[in-house]
């Protein structure tokens, strides 16, 4: 009986440890729709810039949820602060997929992943106010929010890399 109980306990511990490792290994970029998984797969397979941004985020404390949704100001994509919990900061990317190709959506996502990279590089960004302040100090203001030269360049690079293949 003791051996059986020990086996059950050991099995439960192994399952729990395996679950924790699986969660730790989850990618930082997390799509909320199967079509978004395809866009991410395309970016990872065909764009070194996209792949660099996504894999670099995997080493950070950032989790980026990606969903299809319209953004304020009718921009095609946007990055929003979601939450902070312990050592993890969560961001949300919205992509407006209306009349856009998969390649265009991948380039838009790369643009937003560059913004997420910018957040990851600043550990003091811990809430919506510090998120806004950081982009206000580093980016240019437009009607829909803030823009940075690095994000615009990342989107153009990914678009060019996808067009070449």
Write out the DSSP string of 115-149: HHHHHHT-TT--SHHHHHHHHHHHSEEETTEEE-H
> CA dist 13 to 8, 17, 26, 80, Å?
9, 6, 20, 37
Instruction: Give me the pLDDT at residue 18, please.
Output: 45
Instruction: Give me the pLDDT at residue 78, please.
Output: 94
Mean pLDDT of all residues in 29-40: 97
Mean pLDDT of all residues in 145-151: 85
65-121: per-residue pLDDT in tens?
Answer: 999 999 988 899 999 999 999 899 999 999 999 999 999 999 999 999 999 999 999
Going from N- to C-terminal start, the domains of the chain cover: 27-164
Instruction: Give me the pLDDT at residue 21, please.
Output: 45
State phi, psi for 29 to the nearest 5 degrees. -95, 115
Q: Chain-wide mean pLDDT for the chain? A: 86
Give dist(CA 40, CA 112) in Å, integer: 13
Name the one residue in this structure whose structure tokens are 């070194």.
Answer: 48
Residue 147 has pLDDT above 80, yes or no: yes
Measure the CA dihedral 79/84/89/91, to 10°.
Answer: -20
Instruction: Give me the pLDDT at residue 148, please.
Output: 86
């Amino acid at each position: 009986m003791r051996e059986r109980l020990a086996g059950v306990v050991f099995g439960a511990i192994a399952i729990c440890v395996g679950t924790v490792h699986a969660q730790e290994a989850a990618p930082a970029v997390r799509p909320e729709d199967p079509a978004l998984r395809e866009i991410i797969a395309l970016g990872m397979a065909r764009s070194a810039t996209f792949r660099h941004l996504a894999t670099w985020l995997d080493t950070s404390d950032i989790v980026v949820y990606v969903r299809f949704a319209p953004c304020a100001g009718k921009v095609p994509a946007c990055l929003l602060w979601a939450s902070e919990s312990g050592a993890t900061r969560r961001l949300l990317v919205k992509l407006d997929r209306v009349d856009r190709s998969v390649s265009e959506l991948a380039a838009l996502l790369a643009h937003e992943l560059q913004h997420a990279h910018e957040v990851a590089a600043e550990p003091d960004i811990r809430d919506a106010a510090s998120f806004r302040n950081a982009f206000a100090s580093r980016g240019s203001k437009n009607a829909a929010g803030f823009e940075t030269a690095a994000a615009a360049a990342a989107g153009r690079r990914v678009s060019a890399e996808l067009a070449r293949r």
